[in-house]
Amino acid sequence: MANEGPILELRAAQPSFDESGMAPVPIDLRLMPGDCAVVECRDSARATLFADLCCGMISLASGNVRFMGLDWAELGDRQLYALRGRIGRITRRGSWLDLFGTHQNIILQQLHHTTRPTADVVADAMALGLAFGFPGLPVTSPGHLSPADLARAACVRAFLGRPDLLVLEDISDVLPADAAVAFLEAITAARDRGAAVIWFVRRAATWADYRSAVNVHLRLLDEGLFPVRGV
């Protein structure tokens, strides 16, 4: 999807405290195609809430959040589904359904939010699975996978479908070293295609190998989102 304006833009977006528990402070953020924002946040729950905010899942008291130029609050269900199909996300909470095999969990978002042929989605998922260290897509239920393999699967799911926005919570504590290399390569490839990236980290070491490629450095505190100088 071609886009010349911001991929993601928060304009004085003040979350509703009653509905989210987030501090009611206005947040500004603007990510253009190819941008990579590293957001330092030691509190995983706070990072998840901010990720939800960017994805249009948190009600606002004021301001707005726009993805691909469209205000989340003004969209109907059909548009919401279509746009969320353009977001690749890794969450600390996993969001896996044990009723289905892991392979089905991986492709479910693409099948639900897009009109891509199933065969194309599966082929792309297989290629990503190989890149992240699987011999193929795991068919067992997520509950039977190790934390390391669940982390691999989360990466495959997030990067599947050439998303325009990647919202990546920190799973560096469980992602194997070989998959960590593939993770950085996938971020770079996505940015080269024009995607924007929000990457949450809890420790500086997590993104040390990618520091020179990061062009936006932020810190998320309870008081709000703040720029960090001297990347």
We report the CATH number of the domain holding residue 124 as 3.40.50.300
pLDDT in tens, 8-17: 999 999 999 8
Is 67 within a domain? no
Is 37 within a domain? yes
Over residues 160-185, the mean pLDDT reads 97
Is 14 within a domain? no
Share of the chain above pLDDT 70, in %: 98
How many CB atoms lie under 10 A from the CB of residue 230? 4
Confidence (pLDDT) at 23:
85
Is 7 within a domain? no
Which of 194, 193, 161, 184 is closest to 8 using CA atoms?
A: 194
Model confidence at 190: pLDDT above 90: yes
Is 147 within a domain? yes
pLDDT in tens, 108-160: 988 888 888 999 999 999 999 999 999 989 999 999 999 999 999 999 999 99
Among 66-75, 86-95, 211-220, name the one with the lowest average pLDDT. 86-95
Is 96 within a domain? yes
Confidence (pLDDT) at 1:
45
Is 48 within a domain? yes
Global confidence as pTM:
0.94
How many CB atoms lie under 10 A from the CB of residue 18? 9
Overall number of domains in the chain: 1
Model confidence at 3: pLDDT above 80: no
Confidence (pLDDT) at 31:
99
pLDDT in tens, 81-112: 889 989 999 999 878 999 999 999 999 988 88
Is 70 within a domain? no
Residue 140 structural domain = 32-57+82-227
Residue with tokens 């905010």: 53
